[in-house]
């Protein structure tokens, strides 16, 4: 199993550009989520999904869109990038709820918006 | 709303010294608590979960509901323990969402 795979690893965007961060998992996990990691802020939840066709907002959803058309994929879209979105983005998945379902993280995407 | 507080951004100890990374939470229901660790240039990974009552790499953590704490402890720190540590809380009911603290960067000096 590859686990959780994120692409790209690095990306530089100009303000106003759009892009999609890809996330795929091969563990048949129900739950997938996107976090952003900023110095001094920890990890903050952007969006999450509890299954194909179901998504919901997290703590900091503004400026980001998601969709979940398959169990495996959970892309994160930036429609019009802003410098405030410079961050490291992590995708994570888990089999389901409960204490036996820890999150499995991807390696992260480091995004810089100039 | 659930909240996780890690009061120390940075913690520095010497090799062989005891280490305690503090975590306090606020949540009205039945929480599930976790510790995640991120070593340099590696992905975040689960270290401990309260439900398992396990010891991993010499670390333990006890959920204290009275003090709403889930401190991470190790009696003798090693240099390879240097990493960023995140405490996290999940609603023990129907909510999948995991709320993270801001993290503590542990440095173990030789």
Lowest mean pLDDT among A65-74, A88-97, B33-42: A88-97
pLDDT tens digit sequence for B63-107: 898 999 999 999 999 999 999 999 999 876 656 778 899 999 999
CA–CA dist B41, B14 (Å, integer): 22
Distance from CA of A97 to the nearest CA of B (A): 5
B78-104 burial, b if ≥16 CB within 10 A, otherwise e? eeebbbbbbbbbbbbeeebbbbbbbbb
- Checking if the pLDDT of B56 tops 70, the result is yes
| CB interface of A with B, residues 45-74, below 8 Å | 45, 48, 50, 58-59
Q: Is the dihedral angle over the CA atoms B83, B84, B90, B96 positive or is it negative?
A: negative
Q: What pLDDT is stored for residue B95 in this prediction?
A: 60
CA–CA dist A5, A108 (Å, integer): 9
Q: What pLDDT is stored for residue A84 in this prediction?
A: 96
Asked if B42 contacts B59 with a C-beta cutoff of 8 angstroms, the reply is no
Q: Which of A85, A91, A109 is nearest to A17 (CA)?
A: A85
Return the SS3 of B79.
helix
Distance from CA of A55 to the nearest CA of B (A): 12
CA–CA dist A92, A85 (Å, integer): 19
Cβ-based contacts of A98 with chain B (< 8 Å):
32
Return the SS3 of A32.
strand
Distances (CA, A) of B5 to A2, B36, B100: 33, 14, 8
pLDDT tens digit sequence for B20-37: 999 999 987 778 899 999
Q: Where are the beta strands (DSSP E) in B1-110?
A: 3-5, 10-14, 19-21, 24-26, 31-38, 45-49, 60-61, 72-74, 83-91, 98-100, 104-109
CA–CA dist A68, B80 (Å, integer): 38
Q: What pLDDT is stored for residue A67 in this prediction?
A: 96
Q: What pLDDT is stored for residue A39 in this prediction?
A: 85
Q: Which residue has the tokens 């036996």?
A: A100
- Checking if the pLDDT of B49 tops 90, the result is no
């Amino acid at each position: 199993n590859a686990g959780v795979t994120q692409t790209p690893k690095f990306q530089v965007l100009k303000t106003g550009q759009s892009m999609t961060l890809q996330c795929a998992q091969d563990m048949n996990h129900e739950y997938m989520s996107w976090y952003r990691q900023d110095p001094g802020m920890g990890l903050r939840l952007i969006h999450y999904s509890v299954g194909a066709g179901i998504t919901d907002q997290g703590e900091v959803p503004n400026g980001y869109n998601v969709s979940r058309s398959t169990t495996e994929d959970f892309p994160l879209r930036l429609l019009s990038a802003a410098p405030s979105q410079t961050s490291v983005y992590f995708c994570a998945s888990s089999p389901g709820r409960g204490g036996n379902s820890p999150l499995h993280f991807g390696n992260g995407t480091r995004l810089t918006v100039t | 709303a659930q909240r996780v507080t890690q009061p120390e951004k940075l913690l520095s100890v010497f090799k062989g010294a005891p280490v305690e990374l503090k975590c306090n939470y606020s949540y009205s229901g039945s929480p599930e608590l976790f510790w995640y660790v991120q070593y340099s240039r590696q992905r975040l990974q689960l270290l401990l979960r309260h439900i398992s009552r396990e010891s991993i790499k010499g670390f333990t953590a006890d959920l204290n509901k009275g003090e709403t704490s889930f401190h991470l402890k190790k009696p003798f720190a090693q240099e390879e323990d240097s990493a960023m540590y995140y405490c996290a809380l999940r609603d023990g009911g129907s909510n999948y969402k995991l709320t993270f603290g801001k993290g503590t960067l542990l440095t173990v000096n030789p």
